């Protein structure tokens, strides 16, 4: 059996891949692994996004948690970073989020946080998997008064909003903000917190019905926000994904400001204010070459982690750094929270916008993005990590790397959450990059079905 956990928890089509039975087993095994060292009846915070399958999976997951004697504290619909923050604020023993982030509604996922609000290390995920597949019956089954219970946390979203509004001292009066909440978990926290800070607002895709999360909206579908910003004369726009752990922006002209540029804007602001720890911003191997050149120009060290915000976080912790993230908009402000936080990112960018007095388009000029082409090859999920074992694919990759040597770069990597192999080429000749990326992706698809 293949590895159950990807780069962001367990994910699949709800009620097919991620069934109620699997959610129960994950709740049971995860609660046991995360709380077995406690000397008290552990309490675990459970949050979810707006997907229709959330109720089904929450019920099953909570049953598993209670079956090992742990108590489930239900936060309801809250952003993923709210769970990471509230676990620490409330002094709980662990947290779980039911969400498939930016994926379509038919998907859902389960991801765990430890008592310090961090996503789990690989060794803990491996321990949970081992219990699931090899020794599930060994997990204790308390009876009587030792069985766990559930409770409702009515203050969860309000406490998270309070945290967000205290994350800046800036008064945002005079700034008009456009928001696209992806019909997801940010639909309350984002508008309320930004309004609390004094900004005026216009908003789209903020009416979740269980089935419209990420549907042609949010950070993976920026077209509506680009038009909306221009039509409403907003100073800046922000789009979140389904669980609001990522954020992308749009300037006043409707032009995209991606995660690399948001990192550059906030990182340089921190440097100028003496709060950038060890003079370093952490990106990933997918960061645009322009981001690296920005660092060189401004005397900022750029570290590159593997793709996935958990690996960015690992490098930040090991190096003593306090800002890092991905081009996709997962940005971690480690002085404030322990995971990517989309609404927090928006507030940090708005703080720079207010205090600099510049337009969003001016701030975005801090770096020039080199052209990138990204093509996804859809493959058999069980085979996606074997692409370098296929001689024809391996030789084709080497040929493309030689073709762009000295004038760009080629990066081939698997998705941690989907059955995809991603082909990324960065360079100057867009037509050549498109042709080569598509040819390589087609070959990978053909060989890995």
Are the C-beta atoms of 184 and 49 separated by less than 8 Å?
Answer: yes
How far apart CA 422 and CA 237 sit, in angstroms, is 28
In the sheet that 256-257 helps form, which strands lie side by side, from edge to edge?
A: 200-204, 176-180, 236-240, 247-251, 256-257
How far apart CA 35 and CA 249 sit, in angstroms, is 39
The token duo for 308 is 């996935």
| Angle ∠(223,224,225) on CA atoms, nearest 5 | 95
The phi and psi torsions of 172 (rounded to 5 degrees) equal -90, 15
How far apart CA 401 and CA 65 sit, in angstroms, is 49
Q: Which residues are catalytic?
A: 101
The token duo for 363 is 């701030």
Instruction: Using the CB atoms, write b or e for 311-340: b if 16+ within 10 Å.
Output: bbbbbbeebebbbbbbbbbbbbbbebbbbb
The token duo for 199 is 């900004």
Number of other CB atoms surrounding residue 81 within 10 Å: 33
Strand partners, 280: 301
Are the C-beta atoms of 333 and 344 separated by less than 8 Å?
Answer: yes
């Amino acid at each position: 059996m293949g590895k159950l956990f990807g780069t962001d928890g367990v994910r699949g089509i709800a009620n097919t891949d991620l069934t109620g039975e699997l959610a129960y087993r994950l709740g049971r095994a995860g609660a046991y692994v995360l709380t077995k060292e406690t000397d008290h009846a552990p309490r675990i915070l459970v949050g979810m996004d707006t997907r229709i399958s959330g109720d089904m999976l929450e019920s099953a997951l909570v049953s598993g948690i209670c079956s090992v004697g742990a108590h489930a504290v239900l936060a309801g619909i809250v952003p993923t970073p709210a769970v990471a923050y509230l676990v620490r604020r409330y002094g709980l023993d662990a947290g779980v989020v039911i969400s498939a982030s930016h994926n379509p509604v038919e998907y859902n996922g389960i991801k765990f946080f430890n008592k310090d609000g961090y996503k789990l290390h690989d060794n803990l995920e491996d321990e949970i998997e081992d219990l699931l597949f090899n020794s599930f019956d060994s997990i204790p089954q308390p009876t009587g008064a030792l069985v766990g219970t559930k409770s409702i946390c009515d203050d969860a979203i309000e406490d998270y909003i309070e945290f967000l509004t205290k994350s800046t001292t800036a008064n945002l009066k005079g700034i008009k903000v456009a928001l696209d909440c992806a019909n997801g978990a940010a639909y309350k926290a984002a508008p309320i917190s930004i309004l609390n800070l004094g900004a005026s607002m216009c908003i789209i895709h903020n009416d979740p019905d269980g089935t419209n999360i990420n549907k042609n909206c949010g950070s993976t579908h920026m077209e509506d926000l680009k038009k909306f910003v221009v039509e409403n004369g907003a100073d800046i726009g922000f789009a979140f994904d389904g669980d609001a752990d990522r954020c992308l922006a749009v300037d006043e002209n409707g032009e995209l400001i991606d995660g690399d540029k948001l990192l550059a804007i906030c990182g340089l602001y921190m440097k100028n204010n003496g709060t950038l720890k060890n003079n370093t911003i952490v990106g990933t191997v997918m960061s645009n070459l322009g981001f690296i050149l920005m660092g060189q120009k401004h005397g900022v060290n750029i570290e590159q982690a593997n793709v996935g915000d958990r690996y960015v976080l690992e490098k930040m912790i090991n190096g003593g750094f306090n800002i890092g993230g991905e081009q996709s908009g997962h940005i971690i402000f480690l002085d404030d929270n322990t995971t990517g936080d989309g609404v927090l990112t928006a507030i940090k960018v708005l703080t720079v916008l207010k205090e600099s007095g510049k337009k969003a388009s001016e701030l975005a000029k801090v770096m020039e993005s080199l052209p990138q082409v990204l093509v996804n090859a859809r493959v058999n999920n069980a085979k996606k990590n074997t692409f370098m074992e296929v001689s024809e694919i391996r030789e084709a990759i080497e040929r493309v790397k030689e073709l762009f040597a000295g004038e760009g770069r080629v990066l081939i990597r698997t998705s941690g959450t989907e059955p995809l192999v991603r082909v990324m080429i960065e360079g100057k000749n867009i037509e050549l990059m498109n042709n080569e990326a598509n040819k390589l992706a087609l070959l990978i698809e053909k060989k890995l079905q």
